[in-house]
Amino acid sequence: MAVTFTPDQQATIDARDSSILVSAAAGSGKTAVLVERIIQMVSDAEHPVDIDRLLVVTFTNAAAAQMRERITQALSGRVDANPGNAHLLKQLTLIHNAQITTIDSFCLYIIRNHFDEIDLDPDFRVADDGEIKLLQQDVLADMLEEYFAAGDEEFLSCVEYFAPAGKEKRLEEQILGLYEFAMSYPWPGEWLTGHQDDYAVTEDSLDECSWILLLKSYIRSMLEEAQELLAMTKRLCEEPGGPYMYLDTLEADGLLIDRLLAADTLEEMYEAFSALVFGRISSKKDESVSPEKREQAKQMRNGIKDLLNGLAKKYFSASPRVQAERMAECAPYVSRLLALTEDFRIRLDGKKREKNLMDFHDMEHMALQILTKKTPEGVQPTATALEMREFYAEIMIDEYQDSNLVQEYLLRSISGEEEGKYNRFMVGDVKQSIYKFRLARPELFMEKFDRYGKTEGKERRIDLKQNFRSRRQVTDSVNACFACMMGRDLGGVEYDRDAALYPGASFPEPEGQEEGDVYETEVLLTAAGEDGLDDREREALAIAGKIRQLTGTLPVTDKETGQLRPARYSDIVILLRTTANWDETFKKVLEECGIPVYITSKTGYFAATEVQTILNFLKVLNNPLQDIPLFGVLKSEAAGFSDEDIARMKAETGAEGRRLYTCLTVYATEGTQEELKEKSLLFLQLLDRFRRYVAYMPIHQLIEEFLKETGYLYTVSALPGGEQRRANVEMLLTRAENFEKTSYFGLFHFIRYMEQVEKYDIDYGEANVQDENADTVRIMSIHKSKGLEFPICFVAGLSKKFNMQDTMKPVIMDMDYGIALDYVDIDSRVRGSTLKKAVLSGKLRRDSLGEELRVLYVAMTRPQEKLILTGSCKDAEKVQRILDEGGAGLVAASDTPYGPGRLTFTLRSEASGYLDWLLPAWAVCGQQVQILTASELLQEQMGEEQGREQLKARLLSFEKEAARRSAGEENEEIRLLRERMESVYPHENLKNLYTKTTVSELKKAGMEEAAEEAYHLFEEKELVPYLPRFIREEEKVSGTARGSAYHKALELFPFAEYAGRLGRKAAGGAPDPAEVKAILDRMTEEGTLLKEFREAVNPGKIAQFLESSLAARMAQAAARGRLYKEQPFVLGLPAKTLDDSFPEEETVLIQGIIDVYLEEEDGLVVADYKTDSVTRSQELINRYQVQLDYYARALEQLTGKKVKEKIIYSFALAAEVPLA
């Protein structure tokens, strides 16, 4: 079916012989329009263009591939309709070589075809980020070493200025930061040298600086804002019930602002702001004046005072003379820092040439060098550029708002505009420019947006405003919010009628409901409370509840049929500003609630245990005297050392300050415990063997050999999340192979390579083993979502604060205004901001806020059917108050071009997070906001009271279904696996021989025949599903948890304080249940006893125990310092003592924890508390005789003292049970 285009879209497709800027709003179908324009140009009957004569530049490889595919399909359709058309058939051949590409691929194409023009070896290689970072570090280290060796005074003073007290790393960071920034300029060397005199100013020349003009413009705009706020305050005072008595003071305030506005030079502005004194408002009382309006007027005036005082403090705390003197003192250091950076750039460029490699910046600059030349007349095209101008019929640029200056010069050089051939076609949306961190220049877009006319001409602007993605409810919400928040002053563009979204798609409406009610935008804010959840968990819980509410009920449009169907998990996406520290929390909570989740933008590769273990092993090979990596390897499954092993080793060999490796080597020869001694020796042999491998084995083979010899890959594969772990290890092998293709080699450099990759956040993300097409809820970053669309979209984490770290750095960089830094008195170490630093810091903050506003716009324009905004709030009452006031005093003017009115610039520019914008915007536009407490979250999820039990049952059935499948329904693969699993091992007698086991396992295995006859060898635990925390809190405590609770309570009980009071015959009597309850409550209040444990313990049962003779003996022992509780132990026994069939030479380590033992004059007493539900003492004897026997044996071996008694105290029987 033929696509029908809107008039604006058709105009975009048809326009010829013009340079065209298409301002394409979100969801406006720009890709379809671009593809159709290409097809029309290629298939034009009168003036057809070959597809390879069109240069189409996209932002990503994926976008380029998608566009090539769409064009190919469209051409194939034309060929099918006209099989004899030779021109179209030719296009299907040319499409494979057509330049539909990213800017870096296009640059590479230019370099490979014209390498001789810049004297480049054609066998060059593109280096990866890790290798480039290593090379930068090496070149910089060598350069600084030379300077230090030369002892140049200017250099040394520069070091002292930027990196005092031996903190030379700071200087390195400044140089690298400046280098990266300068490389986004077309001629980086020119930028670095051109700004070396930026701080060489005098008082007279200060007013002529370009950045002072920026300051003056900003000050004027803020003063005009103050005038507007003052006018609003006056209007409030003049209303019926308004505080009219304030008007005289407000008039005086107006005169102050007029004087500030009249100041022209910096000196005049300084004098005006220095003389700033505000009068007191009238204290006259009048009952006709509304207290609310009086208070509101006070707050509005205070806002004006704060605004003006803030300007005075930030920019006029010192006179222009003092400011110029401070800057003049900084000038040598600015010049020297930029000179060092330029020297570094030249050296690095030389080293890259020497190694014949390049990075992304080099691609752009080398391509620019091939296409342009600098002359006194300006930038001129080279002969190569002129050839390309002649060849390309049109230059098409997608996502033009994210271009930088280098790319602008590149594409301008091969367009024909300078010769009257207007053939640039630029598509973008400045409201979606979100790559400031890549030094994008949205100003390039806006310069043409303002200059190009909206009528036909050589330079033409076409606005695509209709949104074909979203329902009206979504576009209405976006328009209402951004009309309040976005403007040219913050965000880069006026959100007026030209910028607004107009719904253009038709959606089927659900029957039996008022039109669109179910699709209205929702806002969910969670209020902080004493629920044990942090803000992220609470917000995720709210999202989980809403997802449950929407899935299966909200009608969404099926992509295939165009008909409504119930929403599925795969229709839902959760967008986050940053996924770091958020995605895993959300995933955990949602999965606890039974909601499947897929994380599309993962980080955390270097934090994965299996990756850390292998890297730590390599670090130990390189230098075994590194304690932390060695400890990590020893503790891993690859080596198998326990905490107790390492503690014993250190205790027996670790003289103060001795390295762990030294302890290991000493213990391997002199250790007292044979098993640990042998383990230490085996590990050292492994280490020695691999250190020999290092000399000749490639890194990836070294890792493979480690996996093979230790079986580590199989071990991690068997752990929870084994598939993911295995994929991470295999990914590390791939990275090692890639490293071997770089100019570096060897273990030392591989370790450095990986450290640089981790340090500079070149995080690969964990290897992807999930199916992104499965029916799961997706979590991704807002940046990852750009260009995508989803039926239901949660924009989450709106309470997160903005990252403004860049505004606080010692050196601030700006492409137009150079660099700015603090003033430092080296002698006194006093630091203060220079005027230029204050100006550029403020500009950077406003630019960053504008970027954040555009990021929010991208997020809110992703949904097709429904938008839900979520966050958390610390002060729910304050939030409600803002919403109730309806934006009073927050809107700068009621006559803005579009919408209900824009929020004041002061409010918008002082925002610290999205909610600082959204809350007043919602108040102004009347958006309903739901603030949920913890209890309301549960109600939202589960409805009526019985809903909690229904949800429990649902989760339980989910777990039981999984268990039933694993136990019952066997497919052929499982049947074959079972046959293999049930085959008889020929050495059956050794199957239970473990290097280490626990007393509990020996007890379970029933080493005594009597226990075997009376009980199952392995007690079958009741299947308990893993339920969300909010449900688990309501559960009855399991038997195991109850036992732990009693053990913990008695571990904490202050027995020594009750010596002489415990036991039935004690004077004064043991504590009664009420006193015990008070003791337990105090433990909970102090945070030593968990609330769940406290609720599981019956104070009456503890009181009964305290009347026992065992309790009395424990109290007496505690008073003497001879009571020991929760004591861990490791016991080495000949394997033959456990089973006669085991070899005599084998040893088994048994570990466990003794609940309590006490020392009396004639020996030790071992005791254990049991909460088992029994009716006879013999049941406990049968179950636990083995366990206490091992406890006794361990104590005797470790202390050298005789165990005279073994006692179980049964809470069920309220009695002591002696054991033989």
**Which parts are annotated binding residues for ATP?**
24-31
Q: Which residues of 911-926 are buried (b: 16+ CB within 10 A; e: fewer)?
A: bebbbbbbbbbbbbbe
Q: Are 1211 and 1101 in contact (CB under 8 A)?
A: yes
Report how far residue 126's alpha carbon sits from residue 352's, in angstroms, rounded to the nearest whole number. Answer: 10
Task: Identify which of 402, 431, 23 has the alpha carbon closest to the alpha carbon of residue 184.
Answer: 402
Which alpha helices (DSSP H) does 596-721 contain, by range?
A: 609-622, 627-635, 643-653, 660-670, 674-693, 699-710, 712-718
Which alpha helices (DSSP H) does 694-766 contain, by range?
A: 699-710, 712-718, 722-739, 747-759
Q: Are 792 and 777 in contact (CB under 8 A)?
A: no
Residue 317: CB atoms within 10 A of its CB come to 16
Question: Helices 643-653 & 660-670, crossing angle to 10 degrees?
Answer: 80
Displacement of CA 348 from its chain's centroid (Å): 32
The overall longest dimension of the chain from CA atoms, in Å, is: 115
Report how far residue 1217's alpha carbon sits from residue 956's, in angstroms, rounded to the nearest whole number. Answer: 38
Q: Are strands 902-903 and 891-893 parallel, antiparallel or unpaired?
A: antiparallel
Report how far residue 715's alpha carbon sits from residue 705's, in angstroms, rounded to the nearest whole number. Answer: 15
Sign of CA dihedral 689, 693, 699, 702: negative
Report how far residue 59's alpha carbon sits from residue 427's, in angstroms, rounded to the nearest whole number. Answer: 11
Report how far residue 250's alpha carbon sits from residue 739's, in angstroms, rounded to the nearest whole number. Answer: 69
Whole-Å CA distances, 699 to 153, 694, 763: 44, 8, 20
Report how far residue 1220's alpha carbon sits from residue 1218's, in angstroms, rounded to the nearest whole number. Answer: 7
Q: Are strands 564-566 and 394-397 parallel, antiparallel or unpaired?
A: unpaired
SS3 state at 825: strand
Report how far residue 627's alpha carbon sits from residue 658's, in angstroms, rounded to the nearest whole number. Answer: 10
Show the CA angle centred on residue 120, arms to residues 115 and 123, nearest 5°: 90
Question: Helices 320-355 & 835-860, crossing angle to 10 degrees?
Answer: 60
Unique residue bearing structure tokens 């290629």: 42
Q: Which residues contact 150 (CB under 8 A, 6 or more apart)?
A: none
Q: Are strands 564-566 and 555-557 parallel, antiparallel or unpaired?
A: antiparallel
Report how far residue 1051's alpha carbon sits from residue 1043's, in angstroms, rounded to the nearest whole number. Answer: 12
Task: Identify which of 638, 581, 513, 520 has the alpha carbon closest to the alpha carbon of residue 797.
Answer: 581
Report how far residue 85's alpha carbon sits from residue 755's, in angstroms, rounded to the nearest whole number. Answer: 58
Report how far residue 1219's alpha carbon sits from residue 1170's, in angstroms, rounded to the nearest whole number. Answer: 14
Q: Are strands 818-825 and 811-814 parallel, antiparallel or unpaired?
A: antiparallel
SS3 state at 544: helix
Q: Which residues contact 132 (CB under 8 A, 6 or more apart)?
A: 359
Unique residue bearing structure tokens 């004077």: 1067
Binding-site members are 24-31
Q: Are 882 and 824 in contact (CB under 8 A)?
A: no
Backbone angles phi, psi at 17, to 5 degrees: 55, 35
